[in-house]
Chains A and B, each alone.
Chain A
Amino acid sequence: MIELRSIHKQFGTVKALQGVNLRVRPGSIHGIIGENGAGKSTLMKILTGFISRTSGTITFDGREISLKTPEEARSLGIGMLYQEPLDFPQLSVLDNFMAAAADGNPARQQQVLARLCEKFGFELKPKACQEKLTVGERQQVELMRLIRDKCKVLILDEPTTGISQEQQELLFEALKKLRDEGTAIILVSHKLAEIHSLCDRVTVLRHGKQAGEQERPFDEKGLLQAMFDTLPTKSSRPAQKKIGRPILRMDTVSTKAGRVGLHQVNVTINEGEMVGLAGLDGSGQSVFLQIAYGLLEPEQGRVSTPVAEKDVVMRVFLPADRLREGLIAGLTIREHHLLAGKSPFFLTAASGRTTAEQAINTYSIHGTPATTAERLSGGNQQRLLLSLIPEEARLILLEHPTRGLDVQSGQWTWQHLRAHLPENGAIVFASPDIEDIMEQAARVLVFFNGRILLDRPTDQTSYREVSLAITGRV
């Protein structure tokens, strides 16, 4: 049994954790739930020694432990699956599996890997380069490594972010097996559905403090109340806007780019439409968006904007990796607005300040004009990106618009997008979450293996039909 008592953590002047208690029994799955920035990841990193705590005690099987380094955590059998896999992309799967293993014999390790893969139903090629793997597969490699090291306390930080439905099912099966074998599992999440399907007990964190604890069966309303100051309201599907002229047309567009490419895609997007792209990660949605935006040239076929004979259709693209592809990590909010707008010839400390302040107010970004993008939380990064979209934009393309956002930020993003759907424009977004698409979009395109298998208004199809199409069955 592992027990944390009144854990405090301070980063400079920011109090990330204020007296959190946690007790996890072996053979159980304990959920940690809370908004972004509630202190979940910090608490877990303290438990693995990755960062050190400011104060508080940790006991393991009744013995007090210092837990100042991951080395110590590892020798005790505490292991963690980080949200962004902390692996070695240029090395092979086997090398990643073997790194820092007690037994460095490649042949034996390969056997161990094969045996574990078989046990959990994973398919991993030991010689493949880690870089070529999906996030879900990289996670599997990490999980196998922790299991090999006889991990007694297994921590998973938002493990279902960016992985496919099938991979999620495999992961959950694996976790149940491990629990039955006596592992203490801690699952960090902000998705209530995951907590419901897996956890025996759950602790709610809010603003670095413990806001509640529940045994199964959970009372959903109580959990939500503990998580948020104000309850997020579920929005109903927006009224269908008037459909106008075609704004973007793809004629038999094909390319080999991406993991599966794109084959013979014929699509017309019309003014006033909100289109959701469904499909397993890497089934062609990203390539579709990149071609629509003009980042990629199709190898065959034609992309046209029929509506625009003289005037140009202004497009914007918000990629999934916000900090790396969408924003510039080290630039401030003010500088982002200077870059996006018309900037004066000489820049002074005051230039762009008012625009930035306006954006901060209207988009409720938690920061000042001088805050750099990398110091904003995921939700605020998304708000900053949305605030940078010029008013003239007519085709707004988004990849995973709510990735890594908590429920409130996610709701805010959807409301904002719907409110700003231009009269003479359209919004196209890709999302791994079928529910989001069914709720928000007026039309759904389902991608499978680089083809569009289903193209239908969302009120003429069902969750079941879409989820079947995602796996290739129509």
Chain B
Amino acid sequence: MEISIAVLSAGIAASAAPLLLAALGETLTEKAGIINLSLDGTILLSAMTGFVIAARFDSLPAGFAAAAATGMLSSLVLVIISIYLGQSQVAVGFALTFLCRDLAYFLGAPFARTAGPQLSISPIPLLADLPFVGPILFHHSLVVYSSFLALPLAWFFIYHTPQGLILRCVGENPEGCWARGIRPRIVQAAYTLIGGALVGLAGAAFSLAIKPGWGRPQGCEGIGWIALALVIFGGWHPLRVALGAYLFGFLQMLGILLQDVFPTIPAQIFQVAPFPLMIFTLVLIHLGRNSKGKKLLLLRLLSGNAPGSLGKNYRQV
């Protein structure tokens, strides 16, 4: 079987798009010092609402909007209970992820395996016809384009705007921000909600584009946890987080390809393989980062520290 690099790369870019959106959303949230562990459940719930609303109103934009709203609603629970009422972010996040998952299966049951709209490929005129680069970058659905756009935007916002500086400061030391006349809890709440919206969009990206349709399982289960791991191993830096997302996409594509090469091996192995492989790769990167002596350039690029007050609730005196 012949597989060109271009086709493979295009596949990676497409399959990594929702993961990238979710991981960037979580990066923004964690940069403000808040851990939102509800990712996995939220993705599933917004995949369901996105699909149901899009099918009911026969409108893709309505579906995506509903999914983003669902993501925000779910993170609003975290905002109220953790940021404003001071309860543990980890406990609330865990409870929330399972609540959202069960809610998604329960409310979505009547719509399982029903027909619904699907986001089509919209090649960009002229650019899509470029050799090699065209199929990789410019022959996708809007979801993939928006993931391409979200990445540099997030990076630029975090590191090159005054608002991004405030975001980093709040995650680093909310007390210091309070002393400078910034209200840390409002900033934290805002980025938890924005992060939630991006996670919601990731859910709709699954049910309306990458793995269209709704059912149990939907096919996006587990992605939320991978996104959470990517943020940590990516050192809270959007570019490194993106690198991780594409690595995961590559492993997924590899599984599909190898399935054809080794037909005797059960298919389940290839479906599950990306997850342990991802952990293995990340551990390798991490070990390299912690080793003493000279570091490889790549490893040096990958190093990063957690925001100083990550996971701690800020209490105003």
Contacts and interface: CB of A to CB of B under 8 A. Distances in A.
Contact of B162 (A86, A91, A104): A104
Interface string A70-114: 111111000010100011111100010011110010000000000
B181 A99 contact: no
A91 B166 CA distance: 11
Contacts of A228: none
Interface string B171-212: 011011111111100000000000000000000000000000
A50 B176 CA distance: 10
A71 B172 contact: no
B313 to A, nearest CB: 16
A21 B179 CA distance: 23
B305 interface: yes
B169 A88 contact: yes
A471 B3 CA distance: 70
B180 A89 contact: no
A75 B182 CA distance: 12
B175 A98 contact: no
Given A99-B165, A104-B161, A87 B173 contact: yes
Contacts of A286: none
B234 to A, nearest CB: 16
A86 B181 contact: no
Interface string A46-80: 00101110000000000000000111111100001
Nearest to A11: B317
Interface residues of A, number: 26
Nearest to B178: A70
B317 A91 contact: no
Given A88-B168, A99-B166, A71 B183 contact: yes
A48 B179 CA distance: 8
B308 interface: yes
Contact of A80 (B165, B168, B177, B179): B179
Nearest to A45: B317
A52 B169 CA distance: 23
Give chain B's interface residue range (CB within 8 Å of chain A). 20 to 34
A284 B307 CA distance: 30
Given A74-B180, A98-B162, A100-B181, A86 B168 contact: no
A266 to B, nearest CB: 29
B165 A95 contact: yes
Residue picked from B172, B177, B305, B307, most chain A C-beta under 10 Å: B172
Contacts of B183: 69, 71
Interface in A406-448: none
A456 B308 CA distance: 44
B166 A100 contact: yes
Contact of B168 (A72, A95, A101, A104): A95
A45 B161 CA distance: 30
B230 to A, nearest CB: 20
Residue picked from B165, B173, B179, B182, most chain A C-beta under 10 Å: B179
Interface in B81-123: none
Contact of A88 (B161, B181, B308): B308
A101 B176 contact: no
A48 B317 CA distance: 13
Contact of A75 (B176, B177, B181, B317): B181
Nearest to A98: B165
A87 B180 CA distance: 10
Given A75-B181, A91-B168, A100-B180, A86 B161 contact: no
Interface string B287-317: 0000000000000000001011000000001
Contacts of A72: 181
Interface of A is mostly: loop
Given A71-B183, A95-B165, A100-B166, A86 B173 contact: yes
Contacts of B172: 88-91
A98 B164 CA distance: 12
B314 to A, nearest CB: 13
A300 B180 CA distance: 47
A250 B305 CA distance: 37
Interface string A350-367: 000000000000000000
A45 B169 CA distance: 21
Contacts of B178: 50, 70
A69 B175 contact: no
B308 A86 contact: no
A74 B180 CA distance: 7
Contacts of B181: 69-75, 100
B161 A90 contact: no
B305 A70 contact: no
B175 to A, nearest CB: 6
B173 A88 contact: yes
A51 B317 contact: yes
A90 B166 CA distance: 13
Contacts of B173: 86-89
Nearest to B183: A71
Contacts of A50: 178-179, 317
A205 to B, nearest CB: 20
B308 A89 contact: yes
A460 to B, nearest CB: 44
A51 B175 CA distance: 11
A15 B167 CA distance: 36
Contacts of B162: 98, 101, 104
A347 B62 CA distance: 61
A335 to B, nearest CB: 23
A173 to B, nearest CB: 25
A104 B176 CA distance: 18
A51 B182 CA distance: 14
Contacts of A98: 162, 165
A61 to B, nearest CB: 20
A333 B173 CA distance: 29
B294 to A, nearest CB: 16
A99 to B, nearest CB: 5
Interface of B: 161-162, 165-166, 168-169, 172-173, 175-183, 305, 307-308, 317
Given A75-B181, A95-B168, A99-B176, 10 more contacts: A50-B179, A51-B317, A71-B183, A86-B173, A88-B308, A89-B173, A98-B165, A99-B180, A100-B169, A100-B177
